[in-house]
Each structure stands twice: as C-alpha cells, then as structure tokens.
Amino acid sequence: MAFNMVEKHSSAYSVTWGINDIIYTEKTPYQKLFIIETEEFGRALVLDDILQTTINDEFYYHEMIAHVPLFTHANPRRVLIIGGGDGGTAREVLKHKCVEQIDLVDIDERVIAVCRKYLPELACSFDNPKVNVLITDGVKYVKSQKNKYDVVIIDSTDPEPMGPAVQLYSSDFYQSVYRCLNDDGLFVAHTDSPCFSFGSDNFRDFWHRINAYFPLTKAYITCVPSYISGYWSFTLGSKRYDPIRDYRHDTSIKTRFYTSELHRACFVLPRFMQELIAKK
Ligand code: SAM
C-alpha cells in the first residue's frame, strides 16, 4: 500500500482508504474527479473526495438500483437514467431485453469519458445502440419531458456536500419526475443512509417529498461495503405497480446480488426506518 486517502464525513467521522495508486485526477467544471486503485476494493471512482463506486462491490448498488424498478414494471421499454455516468446502472438495465431505449443524462461528460477509459467493466454499455447519452443538467432535462418514460432511475451523487446533485433531491424535481412518467410509470432514487446522523433526516425528508406526488411510495434497503454506515436506502415512487405485489421473475437475467427473494426482502424495513417514515 502506497498511501492513504481520508474521506471526511463530519468532524467526528472519517474513512481512511489504503491506496496503491492514483490512476487519474481532473478538476472538471462540476467536480473533482479521481480514479484510484484501492487496496481492498480495487479500482474506484471518487468525486469531490467521496468514493462513488468500486470494482469489487459496485454490483451491490447497481443491481439494486436497476433490477428492483425494472422487475416491478410489467413491460419497461423506455428508461431514463439521471446521473449514472460510470455506466454501471445502464449495464444492468440493458440485461432486460424488453428495454428499447435508455436515455442517460449526466451533467458531466468528463465522468463518462474517464470511466470509459479506466472503468470499462462499468462503462461497457455506452456504445450499445439502445443507449442515448445526453450531457445536460438532469433537473432541466426532466422538467422538459412529459409522459414519456416507463422507469426513471436517479443515480446521482449524494446531496451532501453541496454539488451539482442538490436539486435532484428537491420537491420540484420529484414533481417533474412524476410528470415525465407514463401513466403506469415508476421511479427510484437513492435516498441516503437512513442511519442516525449519517443521513436519517435526508432519508425521511426525501421519502415524504416523493410521497407527496406518488400514490405508492416504498423505501428499500441494501448494503454497499464501501459506503458508510451499513444500510443504504432507495425510495421507489410508483403510479400503479406495487413492487411487492406485482414484480416479475426472470431467471435468465444473470445477477450477482439481486434475486427475486431479495426483491421481496429488501422492502422489509427495520423499525427505526418505519418510524422515520411515520414522522413528518
Ligand atoms: N453510482 C454512484 C453511486 O454509487 O452513488 C453514483 C454515480 S456517479 C457516476 C453520479 C453521477 O451523477 C456523476 O457522474 C455526476 O456527474 C452526476 N450528476 C450529479 N448531478 C447531476 C445533475 N444535476 N444532472 C445530471 N447528472 C448529475
């Protein structure tokens, strides 16, 4: 191990990563971008000093953000990904043969270019003819679309520290997402750590913002070893399909984390999360 990188989350909590090599660095117009080789997790993407995804555990996250909504919809054909510039979510969505088009909207073209070069295991789907990459702000893009998508996936950076993703967690944005979905459409956003000071206030607020527009709002959990705090939350807002009642099985889709048993199980929330949701 050559040296350490410290990921600071508060004055009292930091994570120290053992790094073998810094492969690439750049200050893009939107964020600081690093590709590093970590000791435990392999190659990783870091944005604004926060580790986003690693080769060794990316499938814990990308399979759960993609397959839970895709299997919940009866026939997802048009999918919108906001963010997702590493390509991992698009790679998983493409495993669903019914999907005809994926529009991937990332604000930062440099993330896509750098991941193509240094994280090809994730960025392998950008040349697929079904994937249409648009470089623009997801907030503006979604506002201009109406009744167009079956599934929307918000695969953005975190709401904190302040960065280009902050508005992707706002009430106005969730309302625009509702409008850009078809009548039976649904969407998923990652909604921070639900664990005490790591993000429980955010989780509760985002859940209520989503629930203000969608008739059915359900949070689900996963764990991602390289993320802080243990649990990680996603929240699904749906116009018609219930992710527990209506989901499909298709064993021909190969996954390493997602299973249909896990699909049901991930919606079973610990009591403290149920209580967060119950509080306004
Ligand atoms: N998969 C990662 C994770 O595990 O959390 C996150 C993916 S990372 C590639 C998030 C992407 O969201 C970045 O490429 C960033 O440029 C993009 N992003 C942030 N704010 C955005 C915005 N307002 N509109 C579109 N993309 C945005």
Question: Please, which pLDDT band fits residue 1 given cuts at 50, 70 and 90?
Answer: low
pLDDT at 101: 98
0.90 surpassed by pTM: yes
pLDDT at 161: 66
Residue written as tokens 């690439």? 24
Which residue's CA is minimally distant from atom 3 of ligand 1? 52
- Determine how β-strand 3-10 pairs with β-strand 131-135: unpaired
Distance 19 CA to ligand 1 centre (A): 23
Q: Which residues line ligand 1 (CB under 6 A)?
A: 30, 52-53, 61, 82-86, 88, 105-108, 111, 137-139, 155-157, 164-165, 168
Burial class (CB in 10 A: 0-12, 13-18, 19+), 28: middle
Cα–Cα distance, 65 to 151 (Å, whole number): 11
Which residue's CA is minimally distant from atom 21 of ligand 1? 165
pLDDT at 280: 73
For the CA of 164, the nearest atom of ligand 1: 20
Query: In this predicted model, which residue has the larger pLDDT, 16 or 256?
Result: 256
Would you say residue 258 has pLDDT above 90?
A: yes
DSSP state, residue 198: H
From the list 13, 17, 23, 15, the residue with the least C-alpha distance to 3 is 17
For the CA of 141, the nearest atom of ligand 1: 24
Would you say residue 129 has pLDDT above 70?
A: yes
> Is 250 part of the annotated catalytic residue set?
no
Same fold, 3-54 and 58-278: no
From the list 232, 242, 163, the residue with the least C-alpha distance to 202 is 232
Residues 249-272 have a mean pLDDT of: 96
Distance 164 CA to ligand 1 centre (A): 8
Range 3-54: architecture per CATH:
Roll (2.30)
Q: Which of 48, 150, 155, 205 is catalytic?
A: 155
For the CA of 137, the nearest atom of ligand 1: 24
For the chain, the domains span: 3-54, 58-278
Tokens representing 138 are: 């997801």
Q: Which amino acid is at 24?
A: Y
For the CA of 111, the nearest atom of ligand 1: 14
DSSP strands (E only) in 210-273: 216-223, 231-238
Residues 145-173 have a mean pLDDT of: 91
Distance 271 CA to ligand 1 centre (A): 30
Dihedral sign for Cα 177, 183, 188, 191, please: positive
Angle between helices 271-278 and 196-211 (to 10 degrees): 50
Distance 245 CA to ligand 1 centre (A): 31
Domain 58-278: which CATH number of 3.40.50.150, 3.40.50.720, 3.30.70.370, 3.40.366.10: 3.40.50.150
Pick out the residues of the known binding site for spermidine: 62, 86, 155-158
The percent of residues above 90 in pLDDT, for the chain, comes to 84
pLDDT at 121: 97
- Please state which of the ranges 5-14, 49-58, 258-267, 270-279 shows the lowest mean pLDDT: 5-14
The complex's ipTM works out to 0.97
DSSP strands (E only) in the chain: 3-10, 13-27, 32-38, 42-47, 50-54, 78-83, 101-106, 131-135, 149-155, 181-190, 216-223, 231-238
